[in-house]
Structure 1
Amino acid sequence: MPELNHSDAPQPFPILIGDIGGTNARFSILADANSEQEHFPVVQTANFETIDDAIKLTLEKSKVQPRSAILAMAGPVQGDEIPLTNCDWVIRPKTMIANLGIEDVLIINDFEAQALAIAEVADDHRESIGETSENNAASRAVLGPGTGLGVAGLIHTQHQWIPVPGEGGHIDLGPRSERDLQIWPYLEAIEGRISAEQVICGRGLQNLYHAICKADGIEPSLKEPADITTHALAGTNKQAEETLTLFVTYLGRVAGDIAMIFMARGGVYLSGGISQKILPALQKPEFRAAFEDKAPHTEMMKTIPTHVVTHPLAALSGLASYARKPASFGLATEGRRWRR
């Protein structure tokens, strides 16, 4: 085992753990490596001017004061001032250290936390789609349709799990079927391009529904993504039903592409609230059919399991796994860790 350098040394307990999204922030404290996480009520980011204010109020409810912090946030981690993608908060680790009594702050990408979470997923925290197989040391991948489309890999090598973040949600998505070709001209593009995230996320669901309505020559009547999925699952709106069927088909195509990129024989995991809500649609044949339809590698794809993560706090669980056993993960900390 190589000697730990300054940036690789374990963080001191107790550790504040945070999953910071555009709308909600979730916090917990891990008193030591053998403790259960102490969870706190969900924080609405709009109710606090800064993340430091939210942390102060959260810690007032705890008897344990943290010495260090691990925070996962949406967006790239660069520099000493780190803005969040979908809210006004800016994370300033040096200010946290100065004002919150914390001596060690590590900040990572939110989908690195999702990747950490799939290293150890109990059966009761996942729903399998199709056949399952266990290859515990094989690489894995995670996709999360939500506000956007997050993608990350988890590579197993040298007795460590190495999370691989990226911007895989922005890969190109193209038409394949005759119906796709009818719909595609009506999809809202970004600079002339249709990315996976333009279709496979909350607003993407709306984008797809509106395109289907235009292709059918009717006026769209459903306003919110939740309305579309509710009507689709209930079978009460024809265009909503097709929207959800195509949504899971396209998600299957992209999940299959990501599985091949990472050679994810250990499985592809779908995270986030949308995946959980549309589980009945994912369990129909279209998702797996699209996932496996990767000639000339269809037979190989049939052996790769797919799962929906049902853990309500998966990111916090993944961060806690890292906090307990940092040597089990090859997590890059350079340029993302601040110490007093």
Structure 2
Amino acid sequence: MANAFESDKPAFPILIGDIGGTNARFWILNDSHSEPQQFPNIQTADFASIDAAIQSQVLGKTSQQPRSAILAVAGPIEGDDIPLTNCDWVVRPRQLIAELGFSDVLVINDFEAQALAVASLPAEYRDPIGEATHAPMASRVVLGPGTGLGVAGLLHAQDMWFPVPGEGGHVDIGPRSARDLQVFPHIERIEGRVAGEQILCGRGIVNLYRAICMADGVEPVYANPADITAQGLSGANRQAGETLSLFVTYLGRLAGDMALIMMAKGGVYLAGGISQKIVPALKRPEFRAAFEDKAPHAAMMRQIPTFIVSHPQAALAGLAAYARSPGYFGLSTDGRRWRT
């Protein structure tokens, strides 16, 4: 696995960016030791392209002009045109070089950046769920319910961390309990499938809430995830409360599945915007109960810790850790780095 940055590091100053379906966030690192220069969050819908957003809201706001860029994007990286999964932006590294003056651009998956953060963030940014709190230097998983559902693995070998990107948010998720069998027929499907992202993300919360209302024979009252989660946390609305309860149950099931796949004895880490907003629900018994309910391996699952990543900009912190010390990470740059 080639790590060109270890022997051929990017030139500072470095622009680092976390590009999601809804928000884009940027920092500039002037050197390997200084604190980053931070910029306000950008709403992707407010700009026609990433180039326009960077020019207007970053380069136009500072006298420090970056020479390199490391960008984490929500979508697969194949070729010179990189479309985002949940917004209209297309990242074109050669165009960034030609029009914005970069000499070196690296693009990775957004949940690789979250995995880099999980490898490098101090313990103060890990909020434990459940009694297991020790996180050994062993394989880890990061899940992020947000605009979509991101999943990545993290392997530890040869004194290095190797992030493993994937599209785990699109695995099948199905009913198990009697209540699930009442609710699932009403969940919106994509070509006949109920994937994790159909439930475990912002629009998934709305999807799940509507399905519960239909199962109960009542009209939906709320139409956006923030209202549903607020009503669910307060207990003011029964269907919203059950939405939150089932949401954390299904998230626990999927988190447990991913822990089994990766043998993630170093823990499962919940990133993304939704996790930080529903901490009280995640700390109720349902999440850990669903996570651990993996016979015949329930005893092993009880030993695997689960955490909420509490850093407000974890992906950028992960990218910054990589930019400063690329030799600590086994990150492949093949086919994902463009230079003049």
TM-score interval for Structure 1 and Structure 2 normalised by the shorter chain: over 0.9
Alpha-carbon displacement from aligned partner over 1:178-230 (angstroms, at most 9, x marks no partner):
11111111111111111111111111111111111111111111111111111
SS in 2 for 1:143: strand
SS in 2 for 1:119: helix
Deviation at residue 100 of structure 1 after TM alignment: 1.8
Name the structure 2 match of 1:235: 235
Report if aligned partners of 2:121, 2:318 keep a CA contact under 8 Å in 1: no
Distance 2:248 2:2 in 1: 46
Deviation at residue 87 of structure 1 after TM alignment: 2.5
Distance 1:4 1:265, change over 3 A: closer
Deviation at residue 3 of structure 1 after TM alignment: 10
Structure 1 residues not aligned, in runs of 5+: none
Distance 1:276 1:133 in 2: 18
Report if aligned partners of 2:133, 2:306 keep a CA contact under 8 Å in 1: no
Deviation at residue 80 of structure 1 after TM alignment: 1.2
Letter in 2 for 1:121: L
Q: Which one is further off, 26-35 or 131-140?
A: 131-140
Letter in 1 for 2:319: L
Q: Runs of at least 4 residues of structure 1 off by over 3 A?
A: 2-8
SS in 1 for 2:105: strand
Name the structure 2 match of 1:139: 139
Name the structure 2 match of 1:82: 82
Name the structure 2 match of 1:308: 308
1:173-188 equivalences under 5 Å are 173-188=173-188
Report if aligned partners of 1:7, 1:334 keep a CA contact under 8 Å in 2: no
Letter in 2 for 1:250: Y
Report if aligned partners of 1:7, 1:333 keep a CA contact under 8 Å in 2: no
SS in 2 for 1:102: coil
Name the structure 2 match of 1:37: 36
Name the structure 2 match of 1:96: 96
Distance 2:180 2:186 in 1: 10
- Identity, in percent, stands at 65
Report if aligned partners of 1:8, 1:333 keep a CA contact under 8 Å in 2: no
Report if aligned partners of 1:80, 1:93 keep a CA contact under 8 Å in 2: yes
Letter in 1 for 2:255: A
Alpha-carbon displacement from aligned partner over 1:114-152 (angstroms, at most 9, x marks no partner):
111100222332211012333442111000111111100
Distance 2:170 2:84 in 1: 18
Distance 2:224 2:66 in 1: 40
Measured on the aligned residues, the alpha-carbon RMSD in Å equals 1.7
Distance 1:23 1:9 in 2: 33
- TM-score normalised to the size of structure 1? 0.96
Q: Which one is further off, 67-76 or 86-95?
A: 86-95
Distance 1:278 1:16 in 2: 31
Deviation at residue 66 of structure 1 after TM alignment: 1.1
Alpha-carbon displacement from aligned partner over 1:273-324 (angstroms, at most 9, x marks no partner):
1111111011000100000000000000000000011111111000001001
SS in 1 for 2:61: coil
Distance 1:45 1:135 in 2: 35
- TM-score normalised to the size of structure 2? 0.96
Report if aligned partners of 1:19, 1:25 keep a CA contact under 8 Å in 2: yes
Aligned pairs, how many? 339
Distance 1:210 1:187 in 2: 8
Alpha-carbon displacement from aligned partner over 1:234-253 (angstroms, at most 9, x marks no partner):
11111111111111001000
Letter in 1 for 2:61: K
Letter in 2 for 1:240: A
Report if aligned partners of 1:231, 1:240 keep a CA contact under 8 Å in 2: yes
1:196-235 equivalences under 5 Å are 196-235=196-235
Letter in 2 for 1:268: V
SS in 1 for 2:86: coil
Q: Which one is further off, 122-131 or 98-107?
A: 122-131
Report if aligned partners of 1:17, 1:316 keep a CA contact under 8 Å in 2: yes
SS in 2 for 1:32: coil
Distance 1:50 1:192, change over 3 A: closer
Name the structure 2 match of 1:271: 271
SS in 2 for 1:118: helix
1:1-340 equivalences under 5 Å are 9-57=8-56, 58-340=58-340
